[in-house]
Chains A and B, each alone.
Chain A
Amino acid sequence: MSTIQSQTEKGEKVSTFQARRSLGRAGLSTLAILILAACGGSSSTGGGLGSGDLLVGVIAPFTGADAGLGPAYYSACLAAAPSINSNGGVGGRQVKCQQFDTRGEPADAVPAANSMVAGHSNLMAVVGCTSDEAATVAPIIDRAHIPMFCMTGQSEFNKTALKYFHRLVPADVFDAYAMVGSALYGPDHTPYKRAALVFGNDIGSQAFVQPATNAFTKLGGTIAINQPITLGASSYRTEVSAMLATHPDVIFTEALGSAGTYLGEVKTLNGGKMIPFIGTSATIDPTWFQQVKSAIGVNDLVANYHGVDLGYSFSGPAYAEFLTNLNAASSQFADAPKYKQRGSTLHLYDGIIMTALAMVAANSSDPKVYNSKIKEIANGVSGATVVNTYKDGVAALKAGKAIRFVGAGGENNFDQYNNSVSGYILVKYDAEGNEVKVAQLTPDQTKSISAAGGI
C-alpha cells in the first residue's frame, strides 16, 4: 500500500498527461502485483515462515447463554502463546490471541467467522467452534484453508469432508455412553436403574439423548422421563415437578447456563433432598461448578454429582508448562487459572502448540502446506521422538527428527477424518471445584456400552 502511495505522490509532481498515464500503468502493475501477493496469502506462499505476528482466532460464545464456553478456549490460547513466543516464536513470529464472539447463535456466528477470515490474513489456526455454531462456521473456516480445532461433539463431524477440521474430543455419543457407564458401573453407588434425561433443547445438548437412551435401556435401565428444557428460562418448577413425579434415581444432564436454576428447584421441590446427577464432560467447568454450588450448596454438589471426562493425568512436563502459563495469563484474563482442569482448555492448548510445530516442521506459514503436518505431529510416525513442549519439539525438528507431540491433554490419535478419540474416566468434584478421578471404565464395560448403544 505504501508503494502505491509513494508512486502516486511522485506522479502528482509531473503534470503531463503522458506522465500520468505511465504512472497509472506503473501503479496498476504494482497494484496487480500486490493483489497477487495477497491472494497467495501474504508472505505465506510455500517455503519460509514469513514475518509479523500470527493470530489464533478464538471463535466461540463470549456472550449469551453459553458465555461460559468462550473464556475456557481463550484461556487455552493465552497459555499456548507464551509457550511458543518465549521459545523463538514460529520462526520468530509472535502468536497473538483474539476473541470472535458468536453469542452461541449461528446467525451471529456467520458474520463473526466471515469477519475473522476476511480481516486477518495472519490467521494460523482457529479454536473454539462449539456445537452452537460449528455447523455454520466450520465450512467458512475450511474454505479459507485455516486449520481449526472445534469443541463440538456433533455426530455430523464424525466423518467430515472438511480437511482443515480437527477434533480433539470424542463425539457426544461417547460422552453419553460414559454417562451410562457412570450410572451402571460407578464405584460409589449401587447401579442406577431409573434415569431422568434433562438436557437443554439446543443442538449440542440434545445430541446426548438418543445414544444415552439406547445404551441405558438395552443394559437394563429405564428412562423415567426425557425432558428437553428451554435454556435461559427463569424457572423450571413445572418441569421439575413433572420430573420428580416419575421418581428417577438419577438425572443425566447437560443444561449449560440453566443447571443452577433447574437443580436448585429440584432440591427445593424435593423437600431439600437432592437426586444424584451425572453430567457430561462439559460440566467439568468452573463456571458450571460455581453456578450449581450457588444454587444447591457445595455439600450437595460434592455428594450428588458424578461426571465423566477424558482420562487426563494433570501432570507431566506438558501440563506443568500449561499450568505455569495459565496462571501467568491471569494478568491478561483474571479467570484463566480457573481452567486448569478444563479438558477443552488443555486440548485447545495442545492444538495450538501442534499447529505451531507443524508450521516449523513444514517451514511454511501456508496452511495448505502445514495442515497435513498437524496430524503427523499428533499421531507421530514410526520412530518419532515424543516431545511434550514446543521448545523440545522445535529442538527435535531442528535436529532433523520426526516428532510426536503429547501435550497437556495427553496423547492424540487422529483418524482419517481428523477426529481424535480417547478413553473416559469417572470423576467427582471436591469442595474447591477440582476434578477428582474416582474410576476408569474398563475396556469390557466400554465395549458393552458401545455395543448396546449401537457403535
Chain B
Amino acid sequence: MSLFEAAFGFGLVSMSVVALAAVGFTMQFGITNMINLAYGEVMISSAYVAYYVNRAGVSIWIGMIVGAVFGAVFSFLLNRIVYTPFQRKGTSLLGMVIVSLAVSLMIANLLLPLVTYNSVSYQEPSGGLIRVAGVVLTTNQILIIVLAVLVMLAIHGLLRYTRLGKAMRATAANPTLAQNCGIATERVVDVVWLITGALCGLAGVVAALNSDSFAVANGAGFLITALAAAVLGGAGQPYGAMIGAVIIGMVTELSASAWSPEYKEVVAFGILVLVMVLRPQGLLAKRGALAAAG
C-alpha cells in the first residue's frame, strides 16, 4: 500500500468534513453579512448534544440528526437574541466580529463546566476496513463522504432551483433591492440561520465522529479550518468553500505523507496565504452561487 494513496483516501474524508463546516459558515456570511466566529463553538456544542444522545444508547447517526437540529435552533436563537439587536443598532462589521468572538468565548466557557475538559468518544463501531487499491477507509468514513456529497448536492439544488434559493441569492446580492422587490428578507435571514445552523451542527457531529475522541477545546480548531476553506474559496461563496475544503483537506493529508506531519497545517495555510496574496478576493469571488443573479 502506497502511503500517498492512503493519504489521498484520508484526504477525501478530511475534505468532506471541512466542506460541511465551511459551506455553512460561508453561506452565513454571504447572506446575512455576519462573520460568525462562534461557529466552531456551536459545532462542538452540537457534537456534545449528539454525544449525550449516543451515550443514552441511541445510534450516532440518529444523534447526528439531533445535533443538526440543535445547531439550527441554537444558531437561530443566537442571531435573534444577540446578533440582530446589534445589527439593528448599526454596529459595524468589525464590531459584529468582536461580538461574535465574545459569544464564542462565552459559549466555550459555559460549556466547560457542563461537559468538563475530558475528551470523549462516540460509542459507534467504526465498521470494517474497506480497501480499494491503496485507499483504506472504514465504513463510517465512507458514509461521511457520501453524506457530504449529498449535502453539497442539496445545497446546490436549494440555491439554484428553488424560490427560497433565489430569494437567498437576491438577499445576498442586495438586501434593500430584494426587500423592495417583495422578498421578506428578514424571514429569508431566519431561514438561512436555521439551514446554516443545521449544517454547522451536522459538521460538528461529523468532525467529532471522524476524530476518535474530542474535547471542548476542539471548537477553535473546527472554526479555523472552516474559516480557512471559506476564505480560500472566496468569502460568502458556497462553491468556493467546497473548493477550499478540497484544497485544505487534500493538502493537509498529502503533505503529511510527503513531508513531516508537523508541517501539514503550515503547508495548508501557506497555500491560503499565497492565494490571498495573488487573489485577495478568494478563488471564486463574484462568480459563485451567491453572486448577483443574472
Contacts and interface: CB of A to CB of B under 8 A. Distances in A.
Contact of B221 (A227, A233, A287, A295): A233
A230 B257 contact: no
B201 to A, nearest CB: 16
Q: Determine the main DSSP class of B at the interface with A.
A: helix
A312 B130 CA distance: 46
A230 B264 contact: yes
Interface string B161-187: 000000000000000000000000000
A290 interface: yes
B3 A230 contact: no
Given A232-B221, A260-B212, A241 B6 contact: yes
B119 A257 contact: yes
B51 to A, nearest CB: 10
A260 B218 contact: no
B213 to A, nearest CB: 3
Interface in B239-294: 253, 256-257, 260-262, 264-265
A229 interface: yes
B108 to A, nearest CB: 7
A290 B217 contact: no
A236 B109 CA distance: 27
Contacts of B84: none
B210 interface: yes
Nearest to A236: B261
B253 A238 contact: yes
B143 interface: no
Contact of B10 (A67, A232, A237, A260): A237
Chain B, interface residues (CB within 8 Å), range: 35 or more
B10 A235 contact: yes
B136 A269 contact: yes
Chain A, interface residues (CB within 8 Å), range: 35 or more
Contacts of B119: 257, 260, 287, 290-291, 294-295
A53 B176 CA distance: 61
Contacts of A235: 10, 13-14, 210-211
B218 to A, nearest CB: 7
B116 interface: yes
A264 B121 contact: yes
A4 interface: no
B122 to A, nearest CB: 9
A249 interface: no
B91 interface: no
A222 to B, nearest CB: 19
B213 A294 contact: yes
A263 B121 CA distance: 12
Interface in B200-218: 207, 210-218
A305 to B, nearest CB: 16
Contact of A260 (B121, B256, B257): B121
B11 to A, nearest CB: 8
Contacts of A62: 117
Interface of A: 62-65, 67-68, 71, 201, 227-230, 232-239, 241-242, 245, 257, 260-261, 263-265, 268-269, 271, 287, 290-291, 294-295, 335
27 contacts: A63-B217, A67-B112, A68-B117, A228-B262, A229-B261, A230-B262, A230-B265, A232-B221, A235-B210, A237-B6, A237-B13, A237-B253, A238-B10, A238-B261, A241-B1, A241-B3, A241-B7, A242-B256, A260-B121, A264-B213, A268-B129, A269-B129, A290-B119, A291-B215, A294-B120, A294-B121, A335-B116
